Structure 1
Amino acid sequence: MNAQPLLNYINKYISLTEEETLFLISKVTFRKYLKGQYIVQQGDICKKQCFIISGCTKTFYMDAGGQEHIVLFAIEDWWTSDMGSFITQAPADFNVQCIENTELIQITYEDNEEILREIPKLERFFRKIVESAYAASQKRIIRSFSLTAKEQYLFFKEQYPTIEQRVPQYMIASYLGITKEFFSKIKSQLAIEE
């Protein structure tokens, strides 16, 4: 497999020397998952952070009643894992499951620590990614309090136009925190308005 998608992504933000690039490549692994396979399971310690080359994943919390609460979808050129578990090496709060056959570049916790020691500019790069994810998560929480379900759906469509075609409707409903029946009503209402 080829690390070029990850290198292209990193090169949008920082430049690596040839030596740094070779060191980084020596620390990554490639993995293919089938649709339905788990990358991380709730309660396990997340040992790897993953960069998606192709495919789509969902990050979700399973409550005691067996209800799935989707908090994130991830597609090509996005990172996926239970970041809280990865950073703290404590049990994961979330599951990460493949919605499609998915190819990943993975970096273990230990290799990540070594990469950050050897290539300090990558530490800033990864810090920026985590800060951006944290800010997006905060904004999502505020939207869930301040927007109607219909407004949240319209925001989702605008922000992530390609995801809706790739995931089942009931998963989008879960992401929005509504029932699939209510989601169908919203879509019907929007179709009438168009």
Structure 2
Amino acid sequence: MSDLLYHYIKQYVDFSEDEFKRFSESFNKVQFPKNDFALKEGNYCLFEGFVTSGCFKVYYLNEKGMEQTLYFVVEGWWITDIDSMINRVPSILNIQALENSEVLMVSKENKEHLYKTIPWVEKLFRIMNQRSSVALQRRILSLTGKTADQRYIEFLEKYPGLEQKITQQQVASYLGITHEFLSKIRKKISLQK
């Protein structure tokens, strides 16, 4: 199916070729053209997806109708709205392709079947959930305890090369600042080099 998925999983669990074949057969390959949505607010999230190419932004619209970018998902990362998928509630999130992208998607039902039939799958998703919780905690701490300059530097480190693929407005939304303030930060940092 995907060498990227194979190598990703191999980092965390051991498995046979037959097990990986059965695991990967539970996924569907889906293409998303640039600006297409993997999920729109109000719909139910029925998948978890492993991004094999491309990039997505995960955002919601605040009470003023402004985009608030929670995070970006790049090649080798997973996308979903875990609240919507687990609790079967309409999503408040939008997951939009920022470039032509490909995702390997597994439904909740197929994932549950994998838990029952392949022993290491539960361990894999437990590890992924732990890593996701750590990332979320770090994101919250960054937003509440760091300056915009520090958050921008963290963004550059976390998403190398992404700034060239997305708009400055999208970067500013992720950082929780205005586009104008981002321009000032970028200018200040470039003068310090």
Give the TM-score of the pair, scaled to structure 1.
0.95
Instruction: Write the distance in 2 (CA, Å) between the matches of 1:134 and 1:87.
Output: 16
Q: Partners of 1:24 and 1:117 in 2: how far apart?
A: 12
Task: State how far apart, in whole Å, the 1-side matches of 2:23 and 2:52 are.
Answer: 16
Q: Distance in 2 between matches of 1:14 and 1:180?
A: 42
Question: In the TM superposition, what are the counterparts of 1:107-118 in structure 2 within 5 Å?
Answer: 107-118=106-117
**Per-residue deviation, 1:159:** 2.3
Pairwise mapping of residues 74-85 of structure 1 onto structure 2 (< 5 A)? Answer: 74-85=73-84
Identical-residue share of aligned pairs (%): 33
Q: Give me the whole-angstrom Cα distance separating, in 2, the residues matched to 1:28 and 1:161.
A: 28
* Conserved? CA contact 2:12–2:127, under 8 Å: no
| Aligned counterpart, 1:26 | 25
Greater displacement, 100-109 / 58-67: 58-67
CA offsets 1:24-73 (integer angstroms, 9 cap, x no match): 12211101010000001112110011101100000001123220000010
| Post-superposition offset of 1:101 | 0.4
Match of 2:95 in 1: 96
What residue number does 1:64 align with? 63
Structure 1: distance between partners of 2:10 and 2:88: 28
Moved over 4 A (4+): none
Matched to 1:12, the amino acid is: Q
CA deviation after TM superposition for structure 1 residue 98, in Å:
0.3
Shift of 1:4: 2.5
Q: 1:187 maps to which residue?
A: 186
Question: Which AA in structure 2 matches 1:69?
Answer: Q
1:148, 1:9 → 2: CA distance? 33
* Range with bigger deviation, 96-105 or 135-144: 135-144
Unmatched runs of 5 consecutive residues or more in structure 2: none
C-alpha distance in 2 between matches for 1:8 and 1:192:
40
Counterpart of 2:133 in structure 1 is 134
Aligned length: 193
Cα distance in 2 between the residues matched to 1:65 and 1:140: 23
Q: Is the CA contact (8 Å cut-off) linking 2:46 and 2:108 kept in structure 1?
A: yes
Cα separation, 2, equivalents of 1:189 and 1:36: 32
Q: In 1, are the aligned partners of 2:13 and 2:123 still within 8 Å (CA)?
A: no
Cα root mean square deviation, aligned: 1.2
How far apart are 1:192 and its partner, in Å? 1.6
